[in-house]
Amino acid sequence: MRKVVLFIAMSLDGYIADRNGGVYWLSGEDENAENDDTYLSFVKDVDTVIMGWNTYHQVVEELSPSEWIYSDLISYIITHRNIPLSEKIVFTDKNPCSLVRQLLQKNGKNIWICGGADIIQQLMRENLIDTYYISVIPTILGSGIHLFGTIDNELKLKLVKTQTSNGITDLIYERRFLPV
């Protein structure tokens, strides 16, 4: 059964980008040290990635301008811009919750929620995220784009794994279902 997985990094004080949207700070204590490559083990169970326009734009303009780094995945970019579809990249103005519900009805591997904060917060409000894989970067930004916003209901999680490398702490939580 497919799962919806948030795989994201945040600062120690809960920001996924600085006040200008920058992610230059996404490194461990020693920028020259080898980090455990948790991404490679994570992505082997994923075939779909969802992100907003700002995250997409940052990937193609800053992080990987020469190639689409998610070419092995079907990518859904949530935007109101009218951009033609390609074979592996789908631009859509669907509500993120509706899109996730639709994708969960199809066979496949896990669905990765890559960003941004607004999409993540909408999915949290509907309790649609099964796994929270959060890498805490040893940096305090003080302001920026906050990962967690206000939600109406409490979300109960269960810690299933932690690991640390180069000062980066990976926290993996699964959604807990409360008795009715």
Residue 164: predicted pLDDT: 94
pLDDT value at residue 79: 95
Q: What pLDDT was estimated at residue 75?
A: 97
Q: Which stretches in the chain have pLDDT values below 70?
A: 35-36, 178-180
Q: Provide the pLDDT for residue 152.
A: 84
What pLDDT was estimated at residue 153?
Answer: 84
pTM: 0.93
pLDDT value at residue 18: 95
Q: What b-and-e string marks burial along 77-90, b requiring 16 or more CB atoms within 10 Å of the CB?
A: bbbeeeeeeeeebb
What pLDDT score was predicted for residue 91? Answer: 94
Q: Are 148 and 6 in contact (CB under 8 A)?
A: no
What's the pLDDT score for residue 150? 83
pLDDT value at residue 177: 77
Q: What pLDDT score was predicted for residue 179?
A: 65
Cβ contact 49:70 at 8 Å: yes
Q: Residue 36 has what pLDDT?
A: 66
pLDDT of residue 63: 86
Rounded to whole angstroms, the Cα distance separating 90 from 51 reads: 11
Residue 180, pLDDT score: 61
